[in-house]
Amino acid sequence: MSRSERLLNLLQVLRRHRRPVSGMALAAETGVSIRTLYRDIASLQAQGAAIVGEPGVGYVMKPGFMLPPLMFGSEELDALVLGMRMVADCGDRPLAQGALSTLAKIAAVLPPELRRELDESALLLGAGRRPVAHGIVPDLLRAAIRAQQKLRITYRDPSGVESQRVVWPFALVYFDQNRVLMCWCELRDGFRNFRSDRISEAELLEVRYPRNKQSLLREWRRLEHVPGHSILPETDSGPR
């Protein structure tokens, strides 16, 4: 294990503990000697890690400390590069710009050897991808999910029948050629999914829905495993 990977591992271990942990326990968990552990903690503290404590008392990392990009391993950098390139290629304009901006920020703070590895990444996307169609601006859907606010939408089903809905959006699923908005639908009194390219109009209502998006997603996942209950990629039609 390289030194950078060892330091990254120690940070991850510290993040899992909310109370001070003895140096001996940390050394055992990370598989290093106590002397190496003390040296690694001192190195992380010198780099700005908010680790407090001392030998004989224990160590803890203050809440809110963010893992610095310079601690990324090679596989993590590969995952970031490929993921950001996919978003830049397949996402709408705001997401694509966000992906490119993220890569630039990471590159700016990487040490030289990792910067070269990022710049020379050989993970590329295949040609022939078709642009995704959108009926409305997708960042409106993401804003509704973040704010946990109701949406009033006009939706056209596969038969071309339009209906008006008030929905509680809690997730947006990215397929290769379309996007699916996952919601609780007030009209149907249940979970429904709507392809974004079939939503012709959407209005963000100034009212939060009565449940949080995490609980809706948990319930949806529970129902997903019920035999005969399938709600992706699309499970709605016109008024009945």
Question: What pLDDT is recorded for position 169?
Answer: 95
105-125: pLDDT as tens digits: 788 777 777 778 788 777 777
The total of structural domains in the chain comes to: 3
**What is the C-alpha to C-alpha distance for residues 32 and 13, in angstroms, rounded to an integer?**
13
Residue 151's contacts (CB-CB under 8 Å, 6 or more residues apart) are 141, 144, 166, 167, 168, 169, 183, 202, 203, 204, 205
Q: Mean of the pLDDT values across residues 211-237? A: 73
Strand, coil or helix: 163: strand
12 in a structural domain: yes
Higher pLDDT, 152 or 68: 152
Is-contact 35 52, C-beta < 8 A?
Answer: no
Residue 214 has pLDDT above 50, yes or no: yes
Q: Is the pLDDT at 182 greater than 50, yes or no? A: yes
Instruction: Tell which wins on pLDDT, 231 or 83.
Output: 83
The pLDDT-based confidence of 90 (bands split at 50, 70, 90) is confident
Indicate whether this model's pTM tops 0.85.
Answer: no
Say if residue 108 is in the same domain as residue 142. Answer: no
- Measured between alpha carbons, how far is residue 53 from residues 37, 62, 91 in Å? 13, 11, 45
Q: Is 109 exposed, middle or buried (0-12, 13-18, 19+ CB in 10 A)?
A: exposed
The mean pLDDT value for 30-56 works out to: 88
pLDDT (mean) for 53-57: 83
Q: Which residues of 47-69 are buried (b: 16+ CB within 10 A; e: fewer)?
A: eebebebeeeebbbbeeeeeeeb
Q: Is the pLDDT of residue 94 over 90?
A: no
Q: Say if residue 164 is in the same domain as residue 211.
A: yes
Going from the C-alpha of 50 to that of each of 65, 98, 107, the distances in angstroms are: 6, 28, 23
Same domain, 14 and 57: yes
Whether 216 is covered by a domain: the verdict is yes
pLDDT value at 240 more than 50: no
Residues 22 and 77 reside in one and the same domain: no
Q: What is the extent of the structural domain holding 188?
A: 138-224
Could you tell me if 16 and 94 lie in one domain?
no
Tell me which of 181 and 228 has the higher pLDDT: 181
The residues facing 169 across adjacent strands are 183
- Cα→Cα distances 51→54, 169, 235, Å: 10, 39, 50
Shared-domain flag, residues 199 and 173: yes
Task: Tell me, yes or no, whether 84 lies in a domain.
Answer: yes
Question: Mean pLDDT over residues 17-30, rounded?
Answer: 90
Range from 45-49, 56-60, 89-93 carrying the lowest mean pLDDT: 89-93
Answer yes or no: is 232 within a domain. no
- Round to whole Å and give the CA distance between 158 and 160: 5
Give CA–CA dist 132/197, Å, rounded.
Answer: 8
Within this chain, do residues 154 and 215 fall inside the same structural domain, yes or no? yes
One domain, residues 19 and 87: no
Which among 67, 90, 110 is the end of a domain?
Answer: 67
Whether 158 is in a domain gets the answer: yes
Last residue of a domain, one of 119, 154, 179: 119
Q: Which residues contact 47 (CB under 8 A, 6 or more apart)?
A: 68, 70
Instruction: Tell me which DSSP letter residue 71 carries.
Output: G
In a domain, 235, yes or no: no
Domain containing 17 — which CATH number? Answer: 1.10.10.10
Scanning 120-236, the segments in alpha helix (DSSP H) are 138-147, 213-224
pLDDT at 126 over 80: no
pLDDT of residue 137: 72
Clarify whether residues 107 and 179 are in a common domain: no
**Is 174 part of a structural domain of the chain?**
yes
Residue at 239 is within a domain: no
Question: Token pair 């940390």 is at which residue?
Answer: 26
Token couple for 51:
């680790």
